[in-house]
Amino acid sequence: MRMLHHLGGRTKIVLAVALTAGLVAPTTAVAAGLFPPRPGTTVSVLPAGQDNPSIADGVAIGRGTAIYKTSGLGPGGLNTAAAAGTEARYIDPVDLVDGQLPPGVTITEAQGLNVLRRIGENLARAGLSYDDVITMRVFLQNPAGQEKMDFAGWNRAYRQFFANTSLATGEPVNVPLGSAAPAPPMVANPARPSRFALEIENLPVNGWLVEVEVDAAYPAKNE
């Protein structure tokens, strides 16, 4: 399945590949003229058989495509009601209800929302947006009192900004926030970057549970 996303005058190609015995059939892609991508474009290769996959299997980058790489960004210390250096300090107050996180929203999830907003601001300053992101690296620290990272909470935050549209229709797909019923995402975005997530013993700022860096592409504009 090949889909074209026209985003702000730019073209991205999304390819859902057919799998045989666990291997990609490269002749299909080559015959379709997708690889290597033409100059100034990117091609996201998505898992087959899923209407809303969360990440790409990989992203091919055409020759001459301008790439922007962010530094690692953590959440901003916006919650001045909490002590400096605490996990609560890095919650965005807009996500609080009467000073508390909504039901089921974890501290990692809240910090994920915060850092992804910062990523969006960083991209905007460079003339980009969330839908230009092609790769993402995520570093998670286990919250105080917990034995491992909160990967589920991070993924809920991620889906508020990425990978939340139907491949079949292009329409936004409802996503959960905490334990609430799924609702429209904060930012509807078809981009599905290639991504990894690692648990880190200590992130560089006391109180951070999430640090993210992304690569984004400036595809050639449609003529």
Predicted local confidence at residue 14, as pLDDT: 64
Domain ranges of the chain: 2-218
Predicted local confidence at residue 17, as pLDDT: 47
Predicted local confidence at residue 34, as pLDDT: 83
Going from the C-alpha of 196 to that of each of 10, 149, 201, the distances in angstroms are 26, 14, 16
pLDDT in tens, 84-136: 999 999 999 999 999 999 999 999 999 999 999 999 999 999 999 999 999 99
CATH topology assigned to domain 2-218: 60s Ribosomal Protein L30; Chain: A; (3.30.1330)
Predicted local confidence at residue 219, as pLDDT: 74
Spell out, as residue ranges, where the chain has pLDDT lower than 70. 1-33, 221-223
| Amino acid (1-letter code) at residue 29 | A
Predicted local confidence at residue 132, as pLDDT: 96
Predicted local confidence at residue 64, as pLDDT: 92
